[in-house]
Amino acid sequence: MTSLFDSFPLGGLTLPNRTVMAPMSRVRAAAGGLATPSMATYYAQRATAGLIVSEGVQPSLVGQSNPGTPGLHTDEQVTAWRPVTAAVHANGGRIFAQIMHGGRVSHPDTTGTRPVGPSAVPAVGDVFTPTGLQPAPTPRALETAEVPEHALSYARAARRAVDAGFDGVELHGANGYLISQFLSSNANLRTDLYGGSVANRIRFAIEAVSATVEAVGAARTGIRLSPAGTFWGVEESDVPELYAELLTELSRLDLAYVHVEATADEDVLVGLRRAWPGALIMNPVLPMGPKQTGREDADHWLGLGADLISFGRGFIANPDLVERLRTGLPVAPVDEATYYQGGDAGYLTYPAYQHTV
């Protein structure tokens, strides 16, 4: 049986184990969306993961969702990321940048401009702003001629990511952000070639991924998906058909991987595993849900055909998570109050396991 600690070839990399550090926003970037020395330490501490996927990185200013998040759309941001990727590599790790366009999940107080989306339909809930939570505003619906420019923003950010030393990129196609909004049947009310039918609703995702593959190569490109997910109020009709068609189109591009969240029933997810011929990363529990991914969840999904397993909260509180899982050591709990508070407390202060005599 496949073990979580077996090596795995991914794109042009050889991963020493099948654990993936999932992308998690920690909002510790400096002004201007710049990565910091603390971020270099944070990721380097967790370099024993088979693969690290960074927090969501905005590909443009209008694509920024939350304050305090890093970007990959200026030369200064590229320069700031280089010590981060160098620190991970120095510790023997591998790191992809997750490229995340927030779409309608944003606010003018954060970016200085009105959010955009497939349609003028606001997200459900309050969004983070520099002065605290505020109701999600109604986005400006993108004109048909504007949509390709936003698809290309992922590719431009991917080029910058590679220039900054990342081993590849993951497009954030999940959790109610821009790609997910286009896939949605209630956030996307368009009547042009980007809305309505399944073929039209997947078009933006395919264009964004295709442009990224052209920019940095298929071996450096992955995508994260949340089938049937309802984050920020998105809904998806015809989920099995929608994702089967999306994966069919993506399979033509020979991507490094698809990263799937456990947002649908298991039988649906197993069907998507069968429909996807390439490497599959499985996030076995609902992100931000009541349960944290454990060894049993990982083994269960490896048995169902997943190639790699992503862990989120476990990696926050356990920089040595791989060794703890390997040897059966206790997994430390995470302090949720420090997720987004800034500073190094709850960021760099979780220790490796302390053995006692």
- If 0-12 CB within 10 Å is exposed, 13-18 middle and 19+ buried, where does residue 136 land? buried
Question: How far apart are alpha carbons 222 and 22 in whole angstroms?
Answer: 13
- How crowded is the C-beta side of 253, counted as CA atoms within 13 Å? 28
Residues with catalytic function: 177
Q: Return the amino acid letter for 70.
A: P
Q: How far apart are the first and last CA of the chain?
A: 35
Question: How far apart are alpha carbons 110 and 309 in whole angstroms?
Answer: 33
Best CA proximity match to 67, nearest among 117, 101, 28: 28
Q: How far is CA 169 from CA 159, 213, 223, 279, 335, in A?
A: 9, 10, 8, 15, 28
* 3-state class (DSSP) for residue 208: helix
Largest CA distance in the chain: 68
Q: By the 8 A CB rule, do 154 and 208 touch?
A: yes
CB atoms near residue 339 (< 10 Å):
16
Question: How far apart are alpha carbons 191 and 178 in whole angstroms?
Answer: 17
Best CA proximity match to 257, nearest among 144, 106, 96: 96
Q: Give DSSP secondary structure letters for 138-202.
A: PPEEPPGGGHHHHHHHHHHHHHHHHHTT-SEEEEE--TTSHHHHHH-SSS----STTSSSHHHHT
CB within 8 A of 98, min separation 6: which ones? 23, 53, 54, 55, 56, 57, 169, 170, 171, 172, 224
